[in-house]
Structure 1
Amino acid sequence: MKNIFSRAGAAAMTIAAGAALASPAAADEVADFYKGKTVTILIGFGVGGGVDTFGRLLGRHLGAAMPGKPSVIVQNMPGGGGFKSTNYLFNAGPKDGTYITVMLPSNAIEPLMGNPGAKWDTFKLSWLGNLTRDFGSCVASGRSGIKSITDTAARQAIVGATGPSALTAQQPYALANIFGYKLKVITGYKGTREIWNTLEKGEADIACAFWASIAMGPQKAAMESGQLVPIVQFGSKKHPAYGDSTPLVYDLARDDDERKLLRFVFGLAEITRPFAAPPGVPAARVDALRKAFWAAAHSDGLKADAAKQKLIVDPMDWKETEQAFRDVLSTPKAIVDKAKVAIRKPKD
């Protein structure tokens, strides 16, 4: 079967990902470089959503694990479902190890899906790791009366979303295109918090790219009160946060080909909060960032911070993160071609 990336592309990814073990001298140079510096974590969405929450979580603990103990700040750069920040990181931002980003996993495949707005090469990003493996879903407002995604086979529902290439839009687009559900996606919101607010106001019925960590944390009260109702879940197995009655998207598949398509479209989301540095960063600094990411993710401080917010932290190191993307990106071309259509706005 033909893979969607060339051997040359895979080789480039390997070269970009590989970092030489730092010598003592290189380590001193890295510490000298970062001392007094500020590391910026770019967030492609507004304040208060899931991406922002995990970006800030790492930001509070990364500096202490870095050589030279730099300051770490978070910069929100919303736009295009995360495209604006990734395009900036890859094409215009500093390439010295002072800028990193947390990406949507779906954005990693956009260049290979032929999206002209994705002006980066996924194979040239230096993956630092993934902070959590979460389980996604779509939720409906309690006032909508929707109890399951299958209810939308007979009635139209409005879905709030950020950009057309964000999971908030791609997930409902896929559900509409594959199953024929009557979902009208409204894009343009700055972040998931703004989308949740539209559900509270009754301006929209459904929000997707909603995570188990959010259901058990910031939105726990809304879930328990019935203000938010889980209507479909996207994990490899059912999650307690959504309940056993909420259908798995894979159980809705009508044949094996459809199930494979669903795995490609929704499976990538389990690599939930991947962090990356741009191309061109010196290898010793990439190595330092990767080690600091792993140390911070396992630190007592970050664990306590996450527990206080009731966030799931289930990290992957950079090698595991890269391999997870490789596994998805080696999907046969026939399925990828179907996915290209499935995740886009349905034609009227």
Structure 2
Amino acid sequence: MKKLGFCLVLAMCAASQAARADDIADFYKGKNLTIVVGMAPPDQHDTDARMLARSMGKYIPGQPNIIVQNMPGAGSLKAMQYIANVAPKDGLTIGIVQRGVIMMPLLGYPDATFDPTTFNFVGSRAPETSIVVLWRDAKVKSIEDARHTVSLLASTGGGADSNTMPYIYNETLGTQFKVIIGYAGAGEMNMAMERREVDGRAGWSMGALRGTHEDWYRDGRANIILQHALRPNRDIKSVPLVQTLARNPQDKALLDLFAKRLEVGFPVLAPAGVPPARMAALQAAFVKTMSDADYVKEAKSIQAEINPLTGEQMSALIKDMYATPKPVVDRAKAILIAQGAPLK
């Protein structure tokens, strides 16, 4: 009788799961799922969104049509605010944003009226290595040069890495980077480098450089003088890792905090409040997409690394980031405020 009862419970669970899957398929069938991208093309975030759009739909029950909507502004802040406060919470809107925007509430940006720990995270393609890149004919050729000569670096503004990281490096490494804000996205920043309006840019992803400008990397037009991550990138081992240049433990703790957010990589997320069953379906579809043959082939063609984090891993990472000791966070705020960042 006990065995019969156990089998009955298993059968009921299987039937319940099948019914849930049917409900999800019925919901998504014939509908559009929108990926909101916080950057303008040809930024890597836009490329990631379009890669997902071409492959992920087949793994979502009901196989919805996936469309991409660009919403650039303030380093993905505009898109993040939309996802947090405006987007429907029905599972038909997800987003890909710059990793820097995830930390904006922690640092006290007044316009960052959202709590990243409450978002539903779908996953991330891979952690990233942040780099400082200068055009090949810029006066500054190395980190030592950057400590004695001013370099103009393009930025989208807001909490983006292109805006935040130069200030952190100026304080912890003694560099003399000057940030020029107002560029809409990676495309404009890159054109500014080519036109020599600026010397370069900071907070650029190694994967994004190779994915959008492999020729710059191959031909030496992009001179990489710093890398920032939890571990050195195997392709640029000769480029100094910023933590190894820290002058004291306090500086290293600060640099480690920003290295941690690099683990976020290319965050794919949905607003809080999405029905759990639909959220689980999106997370499962993302995991399957990361090993989809067509997706993997396309990623390899643009030098995009695939080393995915699941939605669960992403949520844990964000919560750990927001548990950073207050003295470290307060120092980061003080540095940014001293540099003119509009923090509260």
Q: TM-score, normalised by structure 2?
A: 0.90
Name the structure 2 match of 1:164. 158
Amino acid of the structure 2 residue aligned with 1:80 = A
Q: Distance in 1 between matches of 2:43 and 2:338?
A: 23
Q: For 1:151-300, what aligned pairs fall within 5 Å after superposition?
A: 151-244=145-238, 246-300=239-293
Name the structure 2 match of 1:145. 139
Q: Distance in 2 between matches of 1:215 and 1:154?
A: 26
Amino acid of the structure 2 residue aligned with 1:278 = P
Q: Distance in 2 between matches of 1:172 and 1:344?
A: 13
Q: CA deviation at 1:105?
A: 2.3
Q: CA deviation at 1:33?
A: 0.6
Match of 1:336 among 329, 333, 339: 329
SS of 1:209's equivalent in the other structure is strand
Does 2:302 correspond to 1:309? yes
Q: CA deviation at 1:277?
A: 0.6
Q: Distance in 2 between matches of 1:94 and 1:310?
A: 34
User: Which deviates more from structure 2 when the two are superposed, residues 218-227 or residues 161-170?
Assistant: 218-227
Q: CA deviation at 1:183?
A: 1.2
Measured against aligned partners, the alpha-carbon deviations of 1:205-243 in whole angstroms (never above 9, x if no partner) come to 121222222343332211222211001000223223334
Q: Does the CA contact (< 8 Å) of 2:106 and 2:329 recur in 1?
A: no
Give unmatched runs, 5+ long, in structure 1. 1-21
Name the structure 1 match of 2:28. 34
Does 2:82 correspond to 1:88? yes
- Structure of higher CA gyration radius: 2
Q: Does the CA contact (< 8 Å) of 1:173 and 1:344 recur in 2?
A: no
Structure 1 residues 305 and 347, CA gap change in structure 2 (3 angstroms): closer
SS of 2:95's equivalent in the other structure is strand
Q: Does the CA contact (< 8 Å) of 1:164 and 1:344 recur in 2?
A: no
Aligned pair count? 326
Give unmatched runs, 5+ long, in structure 2. 1-15
Q: CA deviation at 1:267?
A: 2.6
Q: CA deviation at 1:175?
A: 1.0
Q: Distance in 2 between matches of 1:28 and 1:273?
A: 31
Which portions of structure 1, spanning 4 or more consecutive aligned residues, are displaced by more than 4 angstroms? none
Does 2:114 correspond to 1:114? no
Q: For 1:43-82, what aligned pairs fall within 5 Å after superposition?
A: 43-82=37-76
Name the structure 2 match of 1:11. none
Q: Distance in 2 between matches of 1:220 and 1:262?
A: 28
User: Which deviates more from structure 2 when the two are superposed, residues 63-72 or residues 53-62?
Assistant: 53-62
Q: Distance in 2 between matches of 1:343 and 1:61?
A: 40
Q: Distance in 2 between matches of 1:266 and 1:333?
A: 17
Q: Distance in 2 between matches of 1:118 and 1:192?
A: 22
Structure 1 residues 174 and 242, CA gap change in structure 2 (3 angstroms): same
Q: Does the CA contact (< 8 Å) of 1:212 and 1:242 recur in 2?
A: no
Q: CA deviation at 1:344?
A: 5.0
Aligned-residue CA RMSD in angstroms?
1.7
Name the structure 2 match of 1:4. none
Q: Distance in 2 between matches of 1:138 and 1:162?
A: 15
Q: TM-score, normalised by structure 1?
A: 0.89
Amino acid of the structure 2 residue aligned with 1:133 = P
Q: Does the CA contact (< 8 Å) of 2:37 and 2:49 recur in 1?
A: yes
Q: Distance in 2 between matches of 1:204 and 1:117?
A: 27
Measured against aligned partners, the alpha-carbon deviations of 1:301-333 in whole angstroms (never above 9, x if no partner) come to 210110122211110111111112222221111
SS of 1:93's equivalent in the other structure is coil
Measured against aligned partners, the alpha-carbon deviations of 1:272-307 in whole angstroms (never above 9, x if no partner) come to 111111012111111111111111112112101101
Q: Does the CA contact (< 8 Å) of 1:212 and 1:241 recur in 2?
A: no
Q: Does the CA contact (< 8 Å) of 2:95 and 2:270 recur in 1?
A: yes
SS of 2:128's equivalent in the other structure is coil
Q: Distance in 2 between matches of 1:109 and 1:345?
A: 18
- What is the percent sequence identity of the aligned residues? 31
Q: Distance in 2 between matches of 1:228 and 1:87?
A: 33
Does 2:72 correspond to 1:99? no
Name the structure 2 match of 1:13. none
Q: Distance in 1 between matches of 2:280 and 2:231?
A: 34
Amino acid of the structure 2 residue aligned with 1:327 = D
Does 2:339 correspond to 1:346? yes
User: Which deviates more from structure 2 when the two are superposed, residues 331-340 or residues 321-330?
Assistant: 321-330
Q: Does the CA contact (< 8 Å) of 2:77 and 2:158 recur in 1?
A: no
Q: Distance in 2 between matches of 1:344 and 1:220?
A: 36
Amino acid of the structure 2 residue aligned with 1:216 = R
